[in-house]
Amino acid sequence: MLKILKYMYILANWKNSLSAESSKRLAEGIYSRLLHQYLNMEIVIFPDDISLLGVRSILDSLSIVKIGAQDGPMDKTSSLTGSISASNLSKFCDYVLLGHSERRTILGETNEMVALKATEAIELGLVPVICVTKGNGTVFDPYYGIKAQLESIHDHIRRQGKYLIAYEPIDAIGTGISADTEDVKNTAETIRKMLSGIQGSSDIPVLYGGSVNAKNVSSFLSLEGIDGVLVGGESLTVDSFLKIVKKASDTQNLQ
C-alpha cells in the first residue's frame, strides 16, 4: 500500500542578511543540489525585495520551491511611498510573510495592519504566512496575545482563502535556543482550537519558527499539530538549509 506522507512546509526567511549577489549564489546552490524531488513538501524562500526577481528566475523551474516576499501591501488603492504595489507583488510571489515579531516590535506593526495585509494578500491570490507570538500573555492566560492576533485576522478575512500560521516565540528567534517541544505542541493545539472556534476550521497549517536547525527540526516536525518550520539563520547556507530539508523528508518517512 502506498504510504501517505505528511505534507510539510519548509520556509526560509533570509531577512536582510544577504547581498543581492549572495542571494543569487544561495539560490543557485539550492537549485543545483535540490536534485532529489521531495514529495508532499513545499519549500518557500523569502529573499529581500531587491533579490526577489533574481532568486525567482533561478528557482522558477523547481516545482516544489515557491517564492515569497517578507512583507505585503496594506491597501491597493492608496499611494504609499516605499511600498511595493500589490499587483507587482502578486506577479512575482506566491507567498507573503506577515506580522513577523521583528516588524511588530521595531516598526510597531499592529494586529490591525497585519490583518489588512492578510486580507489584501488573499484577494490577490497570495498565501499569507501570519506570524504570531505569545507576547502579551499573562500568567492567567498565556495565550491572550495569540488570541487577539488570530481574532483580528478573522475580522478581516471575510473571503475564505489559504493562509498559514507560524508560531514564533520571541525568545527563540535568532538566539540559538529553540522553544521547548512541549510548549510548541500545546501552543499549536491551542491555535487550532482557537481557529476552529473563530473560523470553524481546524485544518489551517501551523508552523514553528525560532532557532530551527538540522539537529532539532525533526523534533518539531514529528509533532502532530506542526506542519512545517520557518527557518532564519540556518537557511542562509546551502548546506545547512538542505540538511534541514533532508531531515524533514526523513521525518515524513518515519511517520
CB closer to ligand PGA, 153 vs 244: 244
For residues 166-205, one letter each, b for 16 or more C-beta atoms within 10 angstroms of the residue's C-beta and e for the rest, the string is bbbbeebbeeeebbeeebbbebbebbbebbeeeeeeeebb
Binding flag, residue 228, ligand PGA (CB under 6 A):
no
Among 173, 214, 217, 226, contact with ligand PGA (rule: CB under 6 A): 173
Binding flag, residue 209, ligand PGA (CB under 6 A):
yes
Size of the site for ligand PGA (CB under 6 A): 13
Q: Which of 25-33, 116-124, 195-203, 227-235 is the region at the interface with ligand PGA (rule: CB under 6 A)?
A: 227-235
Binding flag, residue 233, ligand PGA (CB under 6 A):
yes
Strand-pair category, 95-98 with 41-46? unpaired
**144-156 helix and 181-199 helix, angle to the nearest 10 degrees:** 40
Among 132, 217, 230, 242, contact with ligand PGA (rule: CB under 6 A): 230
- Whole-angstrom CA distances from 43 to 30, 133, 245 are 11, 23, 8
Binding flag, residue 232, ligand PGA (CB under 6 A):
yes
Contacts of 47 (CB under 8 A, 6+ apart): 14, 18, 23, 27, 54, 55, 67
Binding flag, residue 70, ligand PGA (CB under 6 A):
no
For residue 143, count other CB atoms closer than 10 A to its CB. Answer: 18
CB closer to ligand PGA, 115 vs 231: 231
What's the closest the beta carbon of residue 213 comes to ligand PGA, in angstroms? 8
Binding flag, residue 210, ligand PGA (CB under 6 A):
yes
Q: What are phi and psi of 174, to 5 degrees?
A: 70, 10
- Cell numbers describing residue 67: 517564492
Q: What are phi and psi of 97, to 5 degrees?
A: -95, 125
What's the closest the beta carbon of residue 113 comes to ligand PGA, in angstroms? 18
What's the closest the beta carbon of residue 209 comes to ligand PGA, in angstroms? 4
What's the closest the beta carbon of residue 176 comes to ligand PGA, in angstroms? 8
Q: Which of 19-27, 80-88, 182-190, 228-236 is the region at the interface with ligand PGA (rule: CB under 6 A)?
A: 228-236
Catalytic residue numbers read: 100, 168
Binding mask 3-32 for ligand PGA (x = CB under 6 A): ----------x-------------------
Binding flag, residue 184, ligand PGA (CB under 6 A):
no
- Cell numbers describing residue 124: 490577490
Range 150-169, binding ligand PGA (CB under 6 A): 168
